Amino acid sequence: MAGFAFRRGAHGPVNDLFSKVTIRHLSFGIHHSSMKVLVIGSGGREHALAWKLRQSPRVEQVFCLPGNGGICQEATCVPGDPKNIEGLLAAAHQIRPDITVVGPELPLSLGLVDEFTRRGLKIFGPTQAAAQLESSKSFAKEFMQRYNIPTAHYAVVTSEDELRKSLGLFATPLVVKADGLAAGKGVVIAQTKEEAAVAGAEMFSGKLLGAPVQRVVLEEFLVGDELSFLVLSDGDRVAPLVASQDHKRIGDGDTGANTGGMGAYSIDSLADPAMVEWLLNHIARPVVAGMKAEGAEYRGILYCGLMMTARGPMVLEFNCRFGDPETQAVLMRLDSDLLEAVEACVEGRVSDGVFKWSADASCCVVVAAGGYPGGYVSGKVIHGLERAAEMKDVKVFHAGTSKRDGQIYTSGGRVLGVTARAPKLQDAIAKAYEAADVIKFDEMYYRKDIGARALKAQK
């Protein structure tokens, strides 16, 4: 609590009545007990957020719209569509949450934070203008160029003809990105220029993503290790979260199609204190200062997707919310109150001490439906969840699940995020896989090598 501290004696607070009264009346409305929190979304990230927020001693009830088969066991799920702003406003009017936490990117890009704020509803996340850092890759690239933030060389094109002409600026392989939101699937790494031309044409026509895009970004292909570096921002200050590493490809050894993420791990050695300070000074703080200078104050989580190259860290992309499955791995290591951090962000009082982290390692293994990220079948009964839940330092976060008649069924491509924590990474990985092994449903699939490269590097 900013500005106040209470010494505890051998028998509890020095003056219990005074402490309660002081917390309530001297904290300028910051702290309220018996709070109701609304989480927007239905994936593994939202399950992790609801789970962690519920642990706050000040939270009485967590609601989630629409939630899933696992979230409904820990929170009150409310039917609705996260893309329907009017529906979300109506739900908030009915629930009257003390604060709302937005999970997915789409409601942010549609201006949910703006609408809630206009009505005096406290909400965690960036405005529509600030969320352009994720919703428009061309905006993000041009913004980074304006503020000298390290990123790959690029070109923004608006037609197939322009795309073909711009291919001469790049060596192969090169990266082709659809400009808008694509749920992690709007990126093609082209091995040849003809492959890049085809990918771009399919983005413009709508064949690749189901809807045509107006702009395509061509990018230099960067070589190195990816790093997910997230910070909490109140519009002026930033506080870093522990770093994590996602595994985007569907297949072992980082092969096959890109996905929303097949697993993640988090260990302190991913970014030592000197690297964290460099990332804050050269990326996170310049982004927040630049957005403020352009009239789009950035409040919420800023996810910096980085490539650690021979030239130094380079920004691959920004996300304007927690990552999925990185959130599962990161929050597994959080030893402080997530609600306190969220409120500090919304109320403009973020400090370096807003988070306390465990030195433990964590690992999240995503269990997917067979066929994902292509066509897959839903409605499979999931067995073994009770056994996995009994394992120490293991939490199974539900992503694509539903519950009916007391049974949990698959209802998405990424079904579960089996997450574990242990003092050493190898033990966290072993625990996560031990739990994943007891879970069964028809045609389930998961990568067998989450964190394997990190283990190899440690030897």
Q: Average pLDDT, whole number, for the chain?
A: 91
Specify the amino acid at residue 96. Answer: R
Residue type, 321: R
Query: DSSP assignment, residue 282?
Result: I
The answer to whether 230 and 301 have CB atoms below 8 angstroms apart is yes
Residue 37 has pLDDT above 70, yes or no: yes
Residues of the chain with pLDDT > 90, as a percent, come to 86
CATH number corresponding to 8-127: 3.40.50.20
What is the pLDDT at residue 182?
A: 64
CATH class held by domain 153-220? alpha beta
Joined tokens for residue 283: 């990326």
Would you state the pLDDT for residue 61? 97
* pTM, rounded to two decimals: 0.89
pLDDT, average across residues 291-319: 97
Distance CA 226, CA 244 (A): 9
Measure the CA–CA gap between 331 and 264, rounded to whole angstroms: 12
Bridge partners of 385, per DSSP, are none
**DSSP label at residue 284:** I
Q: How confident is the model at residue 15 (pLDDT cuts 50, 70, 90)?
A: very low
Average pLDDT over residues 386-406: 97
Give dist(CA 341, CA 88) in Å, integer: 23
Annotated domain spans of the chain: 8-127, 153-220, 225-458
Judge whether residue 256 has pLDDT over 80.
yes
DSSP H stretches of helix in 307-378: 326-331, 338-346
Name residue, tokens 């009257």. 96
pLDDT at 350 over 80: yes
Fold for the domain defined by 225-458:
D-amino Acid Aminotransferase; Chain A, domain 1 (3.30.470)
Crossing angle of helices 285-293 and 137-146, in 10° steps, is 100
3-state secondary structure of 1: coil
Cβ partners under 8 Å of residue 168, min gap 6: none
Structure tokens at 433: 């896989």
Whole-angstrom Cα distance, residue 299 to residue 117?
12
